[in-house]
Amino acid sequence: MANVLADLLSERDYLIADGGTGTNMMARGLPAGRPPDLWNVDGQEHVTWLHESFIDAGTDIILTNTFGSNPCRLKLDKAEKRTHEINTAGAKLARATVDTVDRTVIVGGSVGPTGEMMEPFGSLTAEAAEAVFYEQMSALAEGGVDVIWIETIFAFDELAAAIRAGHRTGLPVVSTMTFDTASRTMMGDTPEKAVEFTRTFEPRLAAIGANCGAGPAMLIDTVARLCEAADDQDIIIAKGNCGVPQMIDGEIVYSGTNEVMAEYARLARDCGAKIIGGCCGTTPERLKAIVDALEGYEPKPAPSQDDIVISLGPIKAPLSGSD
């Protein structure tokens, strides 16, 4: 199985991944409560605009607008029977955008969690979860993605089901988990354990890492630990949020500035991450700050936790209402 990420990295020291999807769609007028995935069919100009904007900013990887396009999530909007339609449309939009560019840009098929708890905490079985993921992933593969990009998963059992489904497509598989509780997943698992867990799968994952979370500082702390636990075959991804969300005048605003995202990107390189981008709140402008910060940058030794705090602020997010 060809690893298109490794192939491109054989020519470069690092790759840029894109930024947020949902938050950028909201800025384009996505109605509150409506999933952005449906715009793959009835709002294609917005999806194409976002792909083009990230490519113009300098990304090497764009993710399809399909984060919530599995049957479990689409069922919330009575659209589960449109799983194939929405995913193939999203993949084709990304593919069509990339095909107009005169450089290599990889299309990752974005796959988020089911939104349901698996046994024994819920009713979703491992077999059913794999079937849910495969229904989405097979449509993404049909639509022309280069890589299956699993993201924002917080439980190993769900991740295992997603990886098994991804391997069935015959495409390379990427996994990024969310570590938002003192640099652990919601289930209490550490970055080190995540690296160990992903090594149990054959073929090996094309890349692993962290996305979303509780701000750039915790993301960098997580990535530092992922990189320390990694071996020479592991490609580590850093895809953090643009600061933390704040409600200002009735709108959600992310606290990260161009300067914050630039420093985050440099620290990610210092840790050893080979793929660096943004997640929630990361606009094309913020992504351009990441691109500019890394151009010509010579990585320094991996930062300590004290270094991270000095550069990006506290690693542990304060409790709501606390000082």
* HEC assignment per residue over 57-81: HCCCEEECCCCCCCHHHHHHHCCHH
CATH class of 4-312: alpha beta
Q: What is the pLDDT of residue 1?
A: 60
Residues forming beta bridges with residue 118, ordered by sequence position: 124
Comparing 43-52, 136-145, 224-233, 247-256, the range with the smallest average pLDDT is 247-256
- Domain layout of the chain by residue ranges: 4-312
Locate tokens 């990585």: which residue?
299
- How far is 190 from 99, CA to CA, in rounded Å? 39
Phi-psi region of 170 (alpha: psi -120 to 50; beta: other; left: phi over 0): left
Lowest mean per-residue pLDDT among 12-21, 231-240, 269-278, 314-323: 314-323
Predicted pLDDT at 4: 85
Peptide bond preceding 71: is omega within 30 degrees of 0, i.e. cis?
no
**pTM for the whole structure:** 0.94
Looking at residue 317, its pLDDT comes to 52
User: Given this model, what pLDDT does residue 12 score?
Assistant: 93
Average pLDDT over residues 306-312: 94
Q: Evaluate if residue 179 carries a pLDDT over 70.
A: yes
Compute the distance between CA of residue 315 and CA of residue 218 in angstroms, rounded to an integer. 5
Query: What's the length of the chain?
Result: 323
For residue range 208-228, list pLDDT tens digits in order.
999 998 889 999 999 999 999
Could you tell me if 37 and 65 are in contact, meaning their C-beta atoms sit under 8 angstroms apart?
yes
At 208, list the tokens.
Answer: 């692993």
| Of the candidate ranges 215-219, 277-281, 316-320, the one whose mean pLDDT is the lowest | 316-320
Mean pLDDT to the nearest integer, 184-192: 93
* Distance linking the first and last C-alpha atoms of the chain: 51
47-69 burial: b if 16+ Cβ within 10 Å, else e:
bbbbbbbbbebbbbbbbbbbbbb
Does the pLDDT at position 20 exceed 50? yes
